[in-house]
């Protein structure tokens, strides 16, 4: 047993005090009291320092009592039965008391250590549960290990013939390099290297860099248990990444199939119209009036515009899917709405847009180009169902949000369709010739959400008719505060 300096001095002090008390009791001819004082000292040592210290104290007390304190002094032995009985009783009682009390104390200490270790491992497990990527596992351990006299932890994942450290991206081509680095620095600090093994086999290694006090502590958490938790967390993150990759591939395949089917359908109509019109204009066998020629040319131009809009929509979908979205900036939503109105009037000159803007500035943080395109898409959608009635565009600012809404007076959207209008390529069942590419509302929501906003639909609005699309954003100051909190 190794005694720590403070414990050794306390144990020695207790023994010396018990010896002095026993000597005083013997001096005044109180042998029973002397024995009880020594026994009390042994019990206190057992409670304080454990079984081994108590047995050592009992043996030492027996020897001192027999040699120095009991008659005849300065020799081991007894001359009468009266001298033998207290000595035998003292020796047996001291040994049994030290053994029992010491064992009880050691059991309590082991239980306390096990409880502390279990609590620490539960804390580690809870912290590791928050890690969603392998690179986050190492960071999740920061702040926990210093209490276990561990300076740092490094995790290296095996990948073929080399190791890489996910938290920093370091790559070690030599398999032994992670093991040898910083081992035995200054001749005092060392490192403990353990293998990370998961359900599917070895994953890599973890290196714990210890402090000088590590080896002298007896109540430290078993690092094998910590490494097992690390392996479990890493394997869980790897599985999550595999699932995410599989889902991404499935979504990509579904999008690809949707794109192919949409392109084959939506591009065929304008191409067919342009082919027929251009064929009629170029054919010498077809006699056309100037009015008919102008009509055919107008249809070709209209179909070209339709193709342009459709290809633009496809590019916007690609930007959303790839996450290639510009940086945000502070802007006035009313000014962006005016730009969107000017843009949509170029395509729909007869569309009547009525504005209802609040007097307070509607300042938000976002990307002007994305928001303008989202508003233009909503106005374009409203123009298809307005039936020459006016479309209302309102902007209002409140304490906790900025809101833009676009309301038409069409027949409305059925409840079953409201859940799906923001899906890619979805078209209402009763839209007929009014249906577009099925991408406008999907793009609008994608752009709004990319600017930390929300886009919702309400139908009917009034009298069983009308549809209202509403964008809602946090004011610019709140949006900036949210981004600061997330980054910190």
> Which residue has 């144990």 as its token pair?
11
Per-residue pLDDT band at 219 (split at 50, 70, 90): very low
Q: What is the pLDDT of residue 286?
A: 78
- pLDDT per residue over 270-328, tens digit each? 777 788 888 888 888 878 888 888 888 888 887 787 677 667 766 766 666 666 556 67
Residues 6+ away with beta carbon under 8 Å from 287:
none
For 244-319, CATH gives 1.10.287.130
Q: What is the pLDDT of residue 402?
A: 94
Q: What is the pLDDT of residue 455?
A: 93
- pLDDT per residue over 157-189, tens digit each? 887 777 778 887 777 666 566 555 555 444 345
Burial 411-445 (b: 16+ CB within 10 A, else e): bbbeeebbeebbebbbbbeeeeeeebbbbbbbbbb
Distance in angstroms (rounded) separating the CA atoms of residues 41 and 22: 10
- For 190-297, where are the E strands, in sequence order? 191-198, 201-210
How does strand 201-210 pair with strand 150-159? antiparallel
For residue 333, pLDDT over 90 is answered with yes
Distance in angstroms (rounded) separating the CA atoms of residues 11 and 447: 74
- pLDDT per residue over 422-452, tens digit each? 887 776 655 544 555 677 888 888 888 888 8
Q: What is the pLDDT of residue 70?
A: 65
Give the torsion through C-alpha atoms of 15, 21, 23, 26, to 10 deg. -140
Q: What is the pLDDT of residue 353?
A: 92
C-alpha distances (whole Å) from 336 to each of 339, 347, 382 are 5, 17, 18
Q: How many helices (H) and strands (E) does the chain have?
A: 14, 12
Residue boundaries of the structural domains of the chain: 5-113, 134-240, 244-319, 326-487
Burial of 203 (0-12, 13-18, 19+ CB in 10 A): buried
Per-residue pLDDT band at 198 (split at 50, 70, 90): confident
Q: What is the pLDDT of residue 366?
A: 86
- Of residues 137 and 251, more confidently modeled: 137
Long-range contacts of range 243-252, CB-CB < 8 Å, 24 or more positions apart?
none
Residues 6+ away with beta carbon under 8 Å from 295:
none
Token pair belonging to 437: 């590419």
Q: What is the pLDDT of residue 151?
A: 75
Report whether CATH 3.30.565.10 matches the domain 326-487: yes
* Phi, psi at 109, each rounded to 5°: -65, -40
Q: How would DSSP label each residue in 349-368?
A: TT--EEEEE-SS--EEEE-H
C-alpha distances (whole Å) from 317 to each of 251, 429, 478 are 13, 23, 29
CB 226 within 8 A of CB 192: no
Distance in angstroms (rounded) separating the CA atoms of residues 194 and 53: 34
Distance in angstroms (rounded) separating the CA atoms of residues 237 and 231: 10
Distance in angstroms (rounded) separating the CA atoms of residues 420 and 90: 90
Q: What is the pLDDT of residue 487?
A: 34
For residue 479, pLDDT over 50 is answered with no
Token pair belonging to 249: 């591939």
Token pair belonging to 69: 């304190």
Round the average pLDDT of the chain to a whole number and report it: 76
Report the percent of the chain where pLDDT is more than 70.
72
| CB atoms near residue 17 (< 10 Å) | 14
- Of residues 88 and 256, more confidently modeled: 88
For residue 485, pLDDT over 50 is answered with no
Q: What is the pLDDT of residue 240?
A: 85
> Which residue has 């860099």 as its token pair?
209
Highest mean pLDDT among 7-11, 126-130, 231-235, 406-410: 406-410
E strand or H helix at 377, and its extent?
A: helix 368-385
User: pTM for this structure?
Assistant: 0.44
Q: Find the mean pLDDT for residues 112-138.
A: 80
Q: Find the mean pLDDT for residues 407-435.
A: 74
For residue 370, pLDDT over 80 is answered with yes
Among the listed ranges 73-82, 414-423, 451-460, which one has the minimum average pLDDT value? 73-82
Give the torsion through C-alpha atoms of 480, 484, 487, 488, to 10 deg. -170
Distance in angstroms (rounded) separating the CA atoms of residues 443 and 311: 13
Q: Find the mean pLDDT for residues 49-69.
A: 72
- pLDDT per residue over 372-384, tens digit each? 888 988 998 888 8
Report the percent of the chain where pLDDT is more than 90.
10
Among the listed ranges 273-282, 300-309, 342-351, 396-405, which one has the minimum average pLDDT value? 300-309
CB 137 within 8 A of CB 155: yes
Q: What is the pLDDT of residue 188?
A: 44
Q: What angle do CA 181, 184, 186 make, to 5 degrees?
A: 115
Distance in angstroms (rounded) separating the CA atoms of residues 151 and 166: 19
For residue 258, pLDDT over 60 is answered with no
């Amino acid at each position: 047993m190794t005694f720590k300096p403070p414990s050794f001095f306390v144990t020695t002090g207790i023994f010396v005090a018990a010896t002095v008390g026993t000597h005083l009791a013997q001096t005044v001819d109180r042998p029973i009291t002397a024995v009880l004082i020594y026994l009390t000292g042994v019990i206190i040592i057992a409670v304080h320092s454990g079984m081994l210290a108590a047995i050592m104290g009992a043996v030492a007390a027996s020897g001192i009592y027999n040699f120095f304190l009991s008659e005849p002094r300065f020799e081991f032995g007894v001359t009468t039965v009266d001298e033998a009985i207290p000595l035998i009783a003292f020796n047996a009682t001291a040994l049994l008391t030290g053994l029992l009390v010491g064992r009880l104390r050691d059991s309590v200490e082991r239980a306390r250590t096990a409880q502390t270790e279990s609590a620490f491992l539960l804390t580690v497990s809870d912290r590791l549960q928050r890690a969603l990527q392998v690179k986050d596992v190492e960071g999740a351990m920061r702040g926990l290990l210093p209490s276990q006299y561990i300076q740092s932890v490094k995790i290296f994942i095996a990948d073929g013939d080399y190791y890489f450290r996910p938290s920093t991206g370091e790559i070690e081509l030599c398999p032994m390099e992670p093991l040898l680095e910083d081992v035995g620095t200054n001749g005092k600090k060392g490192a403990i290297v353990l293998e990370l093994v998961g359900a599917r086999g070895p994953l890599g290694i973890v290196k714990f860099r210890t402090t000088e006090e590590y080896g002298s502590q007896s109540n430290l958490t078993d690092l094998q248990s910590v490494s097992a938790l690390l392996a479990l967390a890493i394997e869980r993150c790897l599985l999550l990444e595999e699932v995410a990759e599989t889902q991404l591939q499935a979504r990509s395949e579904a999008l690809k199939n949707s794109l192919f089917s949409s392109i084959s359908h939506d591009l065929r109509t304008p191409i067919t119209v342009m082919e027929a019109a251009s064929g009629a204009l170029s054919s010498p066998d077809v006699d056309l009036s100037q009015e008919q020629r102008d009509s055919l040319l107008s249809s070709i131009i209209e179909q070209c515009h339709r193709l342009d809009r459709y290809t633009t929509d496809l590019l916007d979908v690609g930007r959303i899917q790839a996450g290639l979205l510009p940086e945000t900036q502070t802007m006035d939503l009313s000014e962006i709405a005016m730009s969107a109105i000017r843009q949509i009037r170029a395509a729909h000159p007869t569309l009547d847009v009525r504005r209802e803007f609040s007097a307070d500035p509607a300042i938000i943080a976002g990307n002007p180009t994305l928001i303008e395109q989202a508003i233009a898409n909503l106005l374009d959608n409203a123009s298809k169902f307005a039936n020459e009635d006016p479309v209302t565009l309102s902007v209002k600012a409140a304490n906790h949000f900025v809101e833009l809404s676009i309301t038409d007076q069409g027949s409305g959207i059925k409840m079953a369709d409201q859940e799906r209008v923001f899906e890619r390529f979805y078209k209402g069942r009763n839209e007929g010739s009014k249906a577009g590419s099925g991408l406008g509302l999907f793009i609008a929501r994608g752009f709004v959400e990319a600017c930390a906003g929300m886009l919702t639909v309400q139908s009917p609005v009034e009298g069983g008719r009308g549809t209202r699309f509403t964008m809602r954003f946090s004011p610019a100051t709140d949006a900036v505060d949210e981004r600061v909190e997330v980054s910190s």
